Every structure is written in C-alpha cells, then in structure tokens.
A = this chain, B = another copy of it.
Amino acid sequence: MREDFVPNEHRGLLKIDLQPSPLNKDPLGAVSGNAGQPATDGSKGRSRNDDAYLDDLLGPDAMSEDEAAFIEDDDGAGYAEAPNDHGKRPAHTISGPLPKRPARHNVSNIWQPQVHIPFQPGSTPWKGNRRYLCLNLTGFVWTVDQETHHTVTVEFYDRYQHRDFHFTDPYKYDKACLNDKGTLFSCASSSQHPALLYYRPHETWTARTDWRTQLPVGEEVTSISLSESCIVATTSAGYVRIYSLFGVPLKMYRQKSTPAVTCASWRDYVMTIGNGPMGGDGITRLLYTIENVKRDEICQSEDILALPSGAGLKSVFFSDKGDPCIYDSTGVLLICLHWRTPGQAKWVPLLDTKTMERLASGKKEETYWPVAVANDKFHCIILKGGEDSPYFPRPLLSDFDFRVPVSENTAVDDDEEDAAAAEQKNLEEQYVRTSLRHSLVSDLVEHTNATSAQKSEVPALEREVDKVLLQLLANECREGEERGMKALEIATLMRDRTGQMLTAAGRIASRFQRDILGEKITQLAERRLVGLVDDDEV
C-alpha cells in the first residue's frame, strides 16, 4: 500500500535519479560565441596559471560523495538551497530514510503541497567539495569546502577590466552575485554570528570599502541579488530588505508570497519570486514582483510566473537589454513583455530547446544550463550524459538563436510542396518573433532614457515586420486567386503608415495578376491615407 501513495502523474519523479557527471576536462575562459560546438573540444583561452591552480584543486575525489552535502529544506522555511532540482522537493524526500525526519515515515501517506525550494540563479549544488556560487557572462564565483573553512575564487571573462581574486572564507558563504561593479555574498547564521551579507566592490577610490552587515538573530538569507545600484536580500522572516551598494538599509517590507524562492535585479529594477498559492497540481505557483527601487514603484505585483503545470523554474535573469527572462524545467526560455506597465506583463516563449534541430535526430541527449540572454541569443552550457549542472573545469558557453514555437519545427525536405509549407511556417515564425522584438524595443524606448541607437531600432524593426508580411503576401498571391481574402488581411496587418508598404503590396498583387486583390489593397491604402482606420473600437 505504501508504494501507491504517490499520485500516478507524479510517479515518474520517483524514478529520476541524479547521475554523476563525467569529469569534464574543458578549460576555462572561453567566452560565448561557439554555438553548436560540442562542449568537449575547446582549449583556447585557458592561462597556464589557471592550469596549475586547478590541477591543484581537482583531485580524484572531486566526484565522490555526490550530493552528500545536499541540504534539505525540511520545513519550507527557505534557507536550504537546491537550484537544480526542478523546483520541487526531490521525490526521495517523501519516502526516503533520512535520519533528519523519522516522523515522515509515519505521515508518508498524508498528501502535502510541494513548495519551490529557494535557489540562487547561476549557482550549482555541491559536487564533491566544490560548487559554483554564481556563473554568468561577467564571470564566475566558486567555492571549495576545506572543512574548517571555504576558499572562494572569483574569475572574470574580461581580465583587462577586472582582476581575479580568491580568499579564505571562514563564514562559509553559500550565495553570491557577481556583476561589473562588485561581488555580493551571504552566509547562514552559526553559533558565532547571525546571518551576514558581504559586499566587495571591484573598483574603489579609497583604501578598503568592502562591508558586512548582520541580519537580526534568527533571520536567514533566502536569496540575494545585486545590481549596479542596490542590493536586495529576501529572508526567512518573510522580509525583503533593500540596501544601498555600501550597506545603508534603504527600506524593508513584507514579501507577499513566501517562502521566498529567488530574486534578480538590473539597475533599479528588482524582481523577487516567492511561493504563491498551490495549484491544482499540488505544487505552489511562483509569484513574482518587479519593483523600481529608486522610484519606489511596483511594475508587476505578485503576478503569476507562467510555468506549465508541474514544471519548475531553472533560472531567472535580466537580458542584456534589461528584460526579465526565465528558463523552465521543460527547456523553454521565455521573456517578459510589457512588464514595465502594471498588470500588462506577458511571458512569451523565445525558444523551446526541445524542438531545436540538433535534437531532431533523436540521438543526442543533452540539456541546457541557462546562463544569459544577450545579443539576441540564448547563452548556455550544454549538459550531456544526464548531468544536471556544470562542473569543473568550467565548460564552454554555447549560444543559440531564438525560435518562437509558433508551429512544428519541420526539417527542410526534398519534397517541393513540403519545402513551400516549411518556408511558410518559417515566415510566420519570423513575423511573430520580429513583432515581439519590435514590442520589446518600443517598450524600452517609451519607458526609459533610451539611446539614439535604441530609438532607431523601432522604425527599423517595424520595417522588418512589414517585409516579412510582404513575403507572406507574395506566397498567398502565388497560391492562387482564391487566397485573395487572406492576402488582403495580411496587407491590413502592415504597420507602415506612409503608404509605401501598401504600394509594394499592390505591386506584388499586380505581378501575380490578382486584380481584385490589387483593387482592394488600393482602397485600403486610400482609407488609411484619409485616416479611416480599420478599428472596430477605440
């Protein structure tokens, strides 16, 4: 009877087992730009000093005791950390013989909600005696457990701008954030000290400017984030605490959704994510709030993070343009649209990694460890052989183009008809994706002191959207007279208000001798010119 208490739909979880990751001999220091390259071939960019240093650190026991140091979050109070778990309690926590909670044996047939365990974006769990505390496009922070203390190392991609450093860490920091301005750490309380925050700026005009601050006794840090203008900590007491970069407490308030799960920030924007109410699948919904700390304005208040039923959150970060992005346990990367206006946020899929062509053969088995969204690409680390997180030496970064999953990603075929259908689908995807980019940039320009480069992107993307529409229209004309109504509808979708694009559309119609269509496009252009918009309602 005991075997049956797990609902059928969740039983699969019981079978998931953490696999040891093969010791990956890849070098450090390779910057993104090697899309599609297998993660095993690179060797560029690794300095000799690093080699010696790493050889010293990596012993035969690096892979042993896999997960042994894994702390479990028994009470959901939120101080344990397990970023790679799919946002759920691992299945074995329900039935497993862990000495920490013998009582569970007796209550195992009681149904319980599953909460999301807090995690720090870009961090990995312990493997052997080491783990990454932070891994992003600026650099990475990793720590080694030396039993009585830890040793922390901070390395940068851009060594002209920043100098790597490492230090002996008696506080055993378990969370870190890294950006161009500094590094933020936090540790749990111990018998010697309460929970601490520690910030170390990279550049200073005074002798020593790092600082430490204490949380009230009994309060633990559940997640931290660092931007160019502020520091945020969520705590086990349910508070969001905001500090200036030099540690002046600016404000604090109760987080509405607790226990906290994670947070991220970008300039003055802070995104906090917490456990919201429980969904019909028995798992808590993740709710997020985005706040502009300087203006003291909430952009999105406890909005639902759009994850599919049963899915978890793998990472959250701001893109290089400052838009919030998430990567979920189903392998989908999403970006948040219209998030600067309260109540308008939407999560749009940028890429479903499961549908990428490289996986189409079905022979490759790999997953992707999300790192960043930058230069209109998804930057990640390819994980093979069932790995659940990157290990040492740091593997290469890969990057992939976006593809909105508008329709099936069909491989290009020899069959001519199929090829036409595939081209049509590609154009449709391009239309949706370019419209999305246009929306994102329009929002940026409308709400911020945008650069002139950013401002010029708006009309450029508008033109790009219309060009895709022209291609779609040409396809409809090619198909035949009976596609006229659809062709006309495509013409009405054009954004250009100068008439140029509709003139081009008319020319396409006449080239294919679609005269009725051509007439109707001319009428549409005329109505638009005199300001008769085709809105049903304003």
List chain A positions with a Cβ less than 8 A from chain B: 1, 4-9, 74-77, 101, 103-104, 106-107, 109-115, 194, 201, 204-209, 211, 213-217, 228-229, 237-239, 241, 244-259, 267-268, 275-282, 284-285, 287, 294, 296-298, 300-309, 334, 337-338, 342-349, 355, 404-409, 428-429, 431-432, 435-436, 439, 448-449, 472, 481-486, 489-490, 493, 516, 535-538
Contacts and interface: CB of A to CB of B under 8 A. Distances in A.
Contacts of A298: 338, 343-344, 346
Contacts of A348: 251-254
A516 B209 CA distance: 15
A248 B4 contact: no
Given A9-B74, A204-B485, A249-B432, 6 more contacts: A8-B104, A8-B107, A109-B110, A205-B484, A214-B408, A298-B346
Given A115-B280, A355-B216, A407-B216, A248 B304 contact: no
Contacts of A5: 107, 110
Contacts of A300: 343
B346 A8 contact: no
Given A103-B4, A205-B484, A486-B209, A252 B432 contact: yes
A305 to B, nearest CB: 8
Of the candidates A249, A280, A309, the one having the most CB atoms from chain B within 10 angstroms of its own CB is A280
Contact of A257 (B239, B247, B304, B449): B304
In the A-B complex, the 6 residue pairs with the smallest Cβ-Cβ separation, listed nearest first, are A254-B306, A277-B277, A4-B106, A115-B280, A246-B486, A256-B304
Given A4-B106, A253-B306, A214 B407 contact: yes
B535 A308 contact: no
Nearest to A405: B216
Given A206-B482, A536-B268, A244 B408 contact: no
B301 A302 contact: no
Contacts of A535: 294, 449
Nearest to A201: B485
A187 to B, nearest CB: 17
25 contacts: A7-B110, A111-B112, A194-B408, A216-B409, A237-B308, A239-B349, A239-B405, A245-B489, A249-B406, A250-B435, A252-B405, A253-B347, A253-B349, A254-B307, A256-B306, A257-B304, A258-B308, A268-B537, A277-B277, A277-B278, A278-B279, A298-B338, A301-B303, A302-B303, A449-B537
A432 B301 contact: no
A215 to B, nearest CB: 8
Contact of A281 (B76, B334, B516): B76
A44 to B, nearest CB: 35
Nearest to A486: B246
A436 B214 CA distance: 22
Contacts of A483: 206, 209
Nearest to A247: B486
A128 B107 CA distance: 39
Contacts of A538: 448-449
B431 A267 contact: no
Contacts of A276: 277, 279, 285, 304
Contacts of A349: 239, 252-254
Nearest to A110: B111
A443 B436 CA distance: 31
Given A8-B101, A107-B7, A297 B251 contact: no
A448 B537 contact: yes
A462 B500 CA distance: 48
A526 B356 CA distance: 55
A427 to B, nearest CB: 10
Contacts of A76: 9, 280-281, 309
Residue among A278, A279, A436 with the highest chain B CB neighbour number at 10 A: A279
Nearest to A106: B4
A106 B6 CA distance: 10
Contact of A337 (B107, B250, B253, B342): B253
A307 B274 CA distance: 13
Contacts of A214: 407-408
A489 B279 contact: no
Given A277-B285, A282-B113, A448-B538, A309 B355 contact: no
Of A206, A303, A308, chain B has the most CB atoms within 10 Å of the CB of A206
